[in-house]
């Protein structure tokens, strides 16, 4: 299986419409890949909190349209990273619906195969954590060669989410991100940890450049179920292409069946 991770540079100097066109061209150039992956919030930038509202789109908005077309032109499965999704208002009189950090997966015919609303929002008491609503559903998707489990950026710090994805059948964990350079060591460490503990491939695609004054780490990374790094990008915009055999997941789980020794229900009650 061939995957291409497109590590996009997100800089405010580039208008969003131009970046969208540029990214669509890059996706089309990946024709022949089985799966193409884009980063988190590459239209606004993951740290451009002040732009989330103005840059928000309905699920089937301009980024959806452009990426569906690019996936179908290239004939690839496309994990199109995430968009700031403005959900429909439940009550039209109350104005806009909530914002979500929503990632989109398209099939090679350009149909939406899955949408995942990020569960763990980053920022503690500010930024995404207060501006966006949290998703609540785990999302997996069956591709011809493997089953994907999807998560977004800060989710990488929460191993229980990935356990849930594995329990739902995931073999390849796809993590679009806008991870800052400041915590790059966590990024590579956590990507490898999630691969080793879940005996799964991890495809983690970050952004390059600097937006909202936050230099991005780049260093998109692909890790195999044994924790070995198959490929790692540098800091700048780059297409990281890797070939891997999804059957390695079953072989690793059989040869070293640690997942079978899980003891379920160990969650401690919250401390008072």
Ligand X SMILES: NC(=O)CCC(=O)C(=O)O
Q: Residues interacting with ligand X, by CB under 6 A?
A: 40, 46, 122, 153-154, 157, 178-180, 183, 186
Residue 84 vs 108, nearer CB to ligand X: 84
Alpha-carbon gap, residue 1 to 88, rounded angstroms: 37
User: Least distance (Å) from ligand X to the CB of residue 181?
Assistant: 10
Residues with Cβ < 8 Å from 118, sequence gap 6 or more? 82, 100, 101, 102, 103, 132, 134, 135, 152, 153, 154, 155
Q: Are 163 and 185 in contact (CB under 8 A)?
A: no
Active-site residue among 57, 85, 128, 153? 153
* Strand pairing report for 2-7 and 238-243: antiparallel
User: Least distance (Å) from ligand X to the CB of residue 97?
Assistant: 22
Q: Is 118 a catalytic residue?
A: yes
User: Least distance (Å) from ligand X to the CB of residue 212?
Assistant: 11
Angle of helix 16-28 relative to helix 62-74, nearest 10 degrees? 20
Joined together, the tokens standing for residue 202 give 């991890």
Residue 160 vs 261, nearer CB to ligand X: 160
Q: Is 40 a catalytic residue?
A: yes
Give the residue numbers annotated as catalytic, written as ranges.
40, 118, 153
């Amino acid at each position: 299986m061939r995957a291409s991770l497109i590590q996009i540079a997100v800089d405010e100097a580039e208008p969003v419409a131009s970046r969208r066109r540029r990214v669509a061209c890059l996706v089309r150039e990946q024709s022949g890949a089985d799966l193409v992956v884009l980063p988190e919030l590459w239209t606004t930038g993951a740290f451009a909190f002040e732009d989330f509202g103005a840059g928000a789109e309905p699920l089937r908005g301009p980024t959806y349209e452009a990426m569906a077309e690019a996936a179908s032109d290239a004939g690839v499965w496309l994990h199109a990273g995430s968009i700031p999704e403005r959900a429909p208002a439940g009550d039209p009189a109350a104005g806009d619906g909530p914002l979500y950090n929503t990632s989109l997966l398209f099939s090679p015919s350009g149909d939406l195969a899955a949408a995942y609303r990020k569960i763990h929002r980053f920022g503690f008491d500010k930024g995404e954590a207060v501006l966006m609503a949290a998703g609540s559903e785990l999302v997996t998707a069956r591709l011809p060669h493997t089953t994907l489990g999807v998560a977004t950026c800060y989710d990488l710090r929460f191993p229980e989410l990935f356990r849930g994805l594995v329990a739902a059948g995931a073999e390849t964990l796809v993590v679009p991100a806008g991870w800052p350079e400041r915590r790059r060591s966590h990024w590579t460490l956590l990507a490898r940890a999630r691969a080793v503990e879940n005996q799964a491939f991890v495809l983690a695609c970050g952004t390059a450049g600097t937006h909202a004054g936050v230099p991005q780490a780049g260093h998109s990374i692909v890790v195999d179920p044994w924790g070995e790094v198959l490929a790692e990008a540098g800091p700048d915009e780059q297409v990281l292409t890797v070939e891997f055999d999804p059957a390695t997941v079953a072989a690793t789980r059989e040869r070293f069946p640690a997942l079978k020794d899980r003891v379920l229900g160990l969650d401690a009650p919250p401390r008072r």
